[in-house]
Amino acid sequence: MGERVVATKHEQILKYIENLAVGEKISVRKIAKNLSVSEGTAYRAIKDAEIIGFVSTIKRVGTLRIERKQKDSIEKLTFAEIVNMIDGQVLGGRAGLYKSLNKFVIGAMTVEAMERYTDAGNLLIVGNRVSAHELALKRGAAVLITGGFDTDDEVKQLADEKELPILSTSYDTFTVATMINRAIYDQLIKKEVVFVEDILTPLETTAYLSTSDKVEDWHKMEEATGHSRFPVVNRAMRLTGMVTSKDILEKNPSISIERVMTKNPLTVGPKMSVASVAHMMIWESIEVIPVVKDDLTLIGIVSRQDILKSMQMIQKQPQVGETIDDTIANQLSEKADAGEEADYEFKVSPQMTNSLGTLSYGVFTQVVCEVVQQKLFSMKKRNVAIENVTMYFLKPVQMDATIVIKPRILEMGRKAGKLDVELYLEGILTGKAIVACQMMER
């Protein structure tokens, strides 16, 4: 009964936070006082609200009630993230911090010209031109004042009324524009990264057992769902184990699940990348893994099939932002003579070098890994996890040089393989690697 009372209080606090106006400040002390709960209970609820996505804490601003972002919508850069990035101050319009910006406009023009270029959802970057600040807010755009300048009280009041942030930073316009441009680009790259929370089977549709259930309940659940692996939770919905067909083999139907389950199973969090989970599942040879919060409260499961499906989806997505790995992959080209195994060529551009002007060790390693991935992909091995690379650097490679990479299969099984990779410059061996990897197939 005690656990249920705490859970109900927790739910009440979450409901209270959800009903607050967007942009309102939240504090542990205030919630504890208003709802007559302990500060510890209030703190836990605020943290949960952050995980759910309708509360966020940012430096120099505080903890705020925010618009909950929809999973299926494209995440954009918010004004709150801009504040952190530019070490800025919020002069007004705090309630609009979690609105997204679609582009920024640099106000190096007359106010009349600015009117043509400034639209709703924009961020106007400008100096201490009060008329420009006012114009932007009236057109539905937020304002970022550079050079550490302030603005008039009337403008701050207008920002509050319109719920559009007006920010100030000590950085100059060029620096700020560069920082925001980089952040928008990073955001495009982040969209490609799929997290566990994007693919998990949620708790509402997850089949699980309780520590008070019996082995016979496992049989009933297997019959109802067609699955054989289930998480086990206690009365507070915290994960205590996993039970599979191996655990209940030849066990008396009346024995408690708690006695036969595997305790302390591997778990993942909602913010873990699918690539990391795929590697874990290959390495540990497991089919289903529970997804939990920090306090081990069960929020769902991910299966091997979920992982495979999401990895196939990622492969179909267009590239919207180029990472360092993408840049390296784009500089690789396949070269094959008739009847011979394919080799690869790689041109060393200036950005791939170290301070001495020779090929960076990090790029060297990534080139080897990329060649292995491409080689195995050509052999229909699509989901590859590289688990060990042993490198030998024999000679330095200068910038603008073109190296030839020769991958050769040493051994290849259904689930694991080993390759030898050699790198040549003008026919001379400059580096060598032995790469061990595992494959995740259906």
Residue 273 has pLDDT above 50, yes or no: yes
Answer yes or no: do 330 and 390 share one domain. Answer: yes
For residue 3, being part of any structural domain is answered with no
When comparing pLDDT for 60 and 219, which is higher?
219
The token pair that represents 91 in the structure block: 């002069």
What per-residue confidence (pLDDT) applies to 4? Answer: 39
Predicted confidence at residue 193, as pLDDT, reads 64
Q: Is the pLDDT of residue 403 over 90?
A: yes
Residue 160's CATH number: 3.40.1390.20
* 80 vs 427, higher pLDDT: 427
Distance CA 200, CA 301 (A): 6
- For residues 246 and 165, membership in a common domain is answered with no
Q: Is residue 289 part of a domain?
A: yes
**Which whole number is the average pLDDT over 246-253?**
90
Assess whether pLDDT exceeds 90 at residue 99.
Answer: no
Are 205 and 142 in the same domain? Answer: no
Q: Would the pLDDT of 431 be above 90?
A: yes
Query: Is 74 part of any domain?
Result: no
Q: What is the pLDDT of residue 320?
A: 47
Are 264 and 182 within one domain?
no
Domain end point (choices 312, 341, 366) = 312
Do residues 328 and 419 share a domain? yes
Digit-coded pLDDT (tens) for 156-194: 999 999 999 999 999 888 888 888 877 766 665 555 567
* 107 contacts 124 by C-beta, under 8 angstroms: yes
Examine the domain organization and report whether 343 and 373 are in the same domain: yes
* Structure tokens given for 119: 């639209």
Residue 109 has pLDDT above 90, yes or no: no
Identify the pLDDT of residue 441: 57
Specify the number of domains making up the chain: 4
Quick check: 407 pLDDT over 90?
Answer: yes
Q: Which of 27-36, 138-147, 313-322, 326-335 has the lowest mean pLDDT?
A: 313-322
Average pLDDT, the chain: 83
For residue 158, give its domain range. Answer: 79-191
Chain segment 56-66, per-residue pLDDT in tens:
776 666 787 77
Q: Is 257 a residue whose pLDDT tops 50?
A: yes
Q: Look at residue 313 in the predicted model and tell me its pLDDT.
A: 58
